[in-house]
A and B are shown apart, each in its own frame.
Chain A
Amino acid sequence: MTENTLALISFALTLMVFSYLLGDLPLIRHLYRIAAYIFIGMSAAFTLIVGYESLLLPFWQEAQDPAISWTALGSQADPVIFGAALLFAALLLLKPVARLGWLSNSVLAAVVAIGAAVGVLGALRGTLLPLLEATVRLPALDADIGSLLESLLVLLGTLMALFSFHYQVNPSGGARYAPGKVFRTIGKALIVTALGAIYASTILSSLTILTERIAFLFQYGA
Chain B
Amino acid sequence: MNRRPRAGISMAAVTGFLVGSVAVLSLLLGDNPALFGDGAGAEALAQNLALPGDALLRLLMIVLALSIVFGIANLLTLHIRRLASGRLMSGVLLSSFAGVIGWHIMLPGEPSLLEAIQLPIESALAALLCVTLVAGGARILTRRSDIWGLLFTLVVVLVLLGSLPLPELAPIATFSDWLMRIPAQAGARAILLGIALGSIVVGVRALLGQDRSARG
Q: What are the interface flags for A174-197 relative to B under an 8 Å C-beta threshold, 1 for contact and 0 otherwise? A: 000000000000011111111111
Q: Please give the distance in Å from B155's CB to the nearest CB on chain A.
A: 3
Stretch of B33-41, B156-164, B166-174 on the interface side: B156-164
Look across to chain A and name the residue whose beta carbon is closest to the beta carbon of B48: A72
Instruction: Check A139 for interface membership: any CB of B closer than 8 A.
Output: no
The answer to whether A157 and B183 touch (CB under 8 A), given A88-B63, A200-B159, is: yes
The answer to whether A197 and B97 touch (CB under 8 A), given A59-B61, A206-B129, is: no
In the bound complex, how far is the Cα of B59 from the Cα of A110, in angstroms?
Answer: 11
In the bound complex, how far is the Cα of B15 from the Cα of A113, in angstroms?
Answer: 9
A41 adjacent to B191 (CB under 8 Å): no
Q: Please give the distance in Å from A129's CB to the nearest CB on chain B.
A: 9
Residues of A that sit less than 8 Å from B by CB: 1, 5-7, 9-10, 13-14, 17-18, 20-21, 33-35, 37-49, 51-52, 55-56, 59, 70-73, 77, 81-82, 84-86, 88-89, 92-93, 95, 101-102, 104-124, 127-128, 131-132, 134-135, 150, 153-158, 160-162, 164-165, 187-207, 209-210, 212-214
24 contacts between A and B (CB under 8 A): A10-B120, A17-B125, A38-B96, A40-B96, A41-B92, A41-B97, A41-B99, A44-B75, A48-B72, A55-B65, A56-B65, A109-B209, A123-B203, A127-B193, A127-B199, A128-B200, A158-B186, A161-B191, A191-B191, A196-B153, A196-B155, A200-B155, A202-B133, A206-B126
Residues of B that sit less than 8 Å from A by CB: 6-9, 11-13, 15-17, 19-20, 23-24, 27-28, 47-48, 50-51, 54-63, 65-70, 72, 75-76, 89-90, 92-101, 104, 112-131, 133-134, 137, 148, 151-156, 158-160, 163, 179-197, 199-200, 202-204, 206-207, 209, 214-216
